Amino acid sequence: MSNAHEEQSTPIRLGLTIGDFNGIGPEVILKTFHDARMLGQCTPVLFASGKVVAYWKKALGMEDFRFHHAPSGEHAQPGAFNVVDVWEEEAPIQIGKPTPESGAAAVRSIQAGSEALQQGHIDALVTAPISKGNVQSEAFPYPGHTEYFADAFQTSKSVMLMVADGLRIALATNHLPLSAVPAAITADAVYAKLRVLYRALQHDFGISKPRIAVLGLNPHAGDGGLFGQEDIDALGPAIRRAQDKKALVFGPYPADGFFGAGQHRHFDAILAMYHDQGLIPFKALSFGGGVNYTAGLPVVRTSPDHGTGFGIAGQDQAEPGSFRRAVFQALDIVKHRAVHGIAEPV
């Protein structure tokens, strides 16, 4: 990573990807950085096209939005919104509709941001939403950002961690069909996720002795084996293994009553077993202000917790709150790592 953040007087260089430029990604990016005070928090670097930015600022009536063309993240200008052109050709914009061109551009933006991280030209990356079906190609055979960055930075131990104020929900499995989840829930796999999560809480969030709750896979956490053996055979051993290492890990808890009873307030993070088990309560409790963080990477990557919003794109209805929080979360993690160091690979 770059050493830019090590000097107090040098702003953190924050990379941004455009997402699907026919969705709300450009809108929430421009709305976030239309507030000039944000340029005092970091040096933003958008990997996209100046033509796309110019189109969207006109569509949103932000004619006073100024940006600087930078040849790379390394040459970003402090105090300015920087745009690095990652494609030169015309890309027809059809607001509200995913197109092959917008999917290809989203992938090129992600690749450019990833390369800038690898080269140390930026200190962190915030990714705008993509249409997962619209980016599938030989260049991007991944179900989402999390899997792409895990591959790009050569780690099989990353964890999708959803963050909103004091609420943190991690996923033991990411984008898997529900039918494939039980086979993926093994003692070794869950323990590996717990290790990544525990270290991220220490190094990236500055929590010295984090408390983690593990949700059961089956109804009533299996009810002693009546509703499945995974909670006994996989979760129990993983939790005990973590406890043997003096980690404050507890469970498995029945997922249905855990949040309704307010138990989540007593933990620094919760490990859910599958996507909807974690994301439904998270989105209900975060009120649209959540952040998706990929824990376990040697670099910092965050994103808003919403999708492309094609139905409201270009109508000045997109709220930038989640994207703004993703920006501040990335900056906070960079600062925490400067103090606590990067967690050792699992």
Q: Which one has a higher pLDDT value, 175 or 161?
A: 161
Give the predicted TM-score (pTM) of the model. Answer: 0.91
Query: pLDDT tens digits for 80-94?
Result: 999 999 998 888 999
Tell me the average pLDDT across 231-238.
96
Mean pLDDT of the chain, nearest integer: 93
| Strand order across the 82-85 sheet | 68-69, 82-85, 42-48, 12-17, 124-127, 301-304, 291-295, 159-164, 167-171, 269-272, 211-215, 248-253
CA dihedral 15, 19, 22, 27 (to 10 degrees): -50
CB 17 within 8 A of CB 106: yes
What domains are defined for the chain?
Answer: 1-155+299-346 (3.40.718.10), 156-296 (3.40.718.10)
Look at 56-70, 128-142, 229-243 and tell me which has the smallest mean pLDDT: 128-142
> CB-based burial of residue 205 (10 Å sphere; 0-12 exposed, 13-18 middle, 19+ buried)?
buried
194: confidence class by pLDDT, cuts 50, 70, 90? very high
Question: In the chain, how many H helices and how many E strands?
Answer: 12, 12
Predicted confidence (pLDDT) at residue 273 exceeds the cutoff of 50: yes
CB 161 within 8 A of CB 295: yes
3: confidence class by pLDDT, cuts 50, 70, 90? very low
CA dihedral 38, 43, 48, 50 (to 10 degrees): 80
The one-character DSSP state at 332 is H
Tell me the average pLDDT across 209-234.
92
Residue 333: helix, strand or coil by DSSP?
A: helix
Q: Which one has a higher pLDDT value, 342 or 39?
A: 39
Predicted confidence (pLDDT) at residue 77 exceeds the cutoff of 80: yes
pLDDT at 281: 95
pLDDT at 289: 86
Predicted confidence (pLDDT) at residue 8 exceeds the cutoff of 50: no
pLDDT at 4: 41
pLDDT at 345: 63
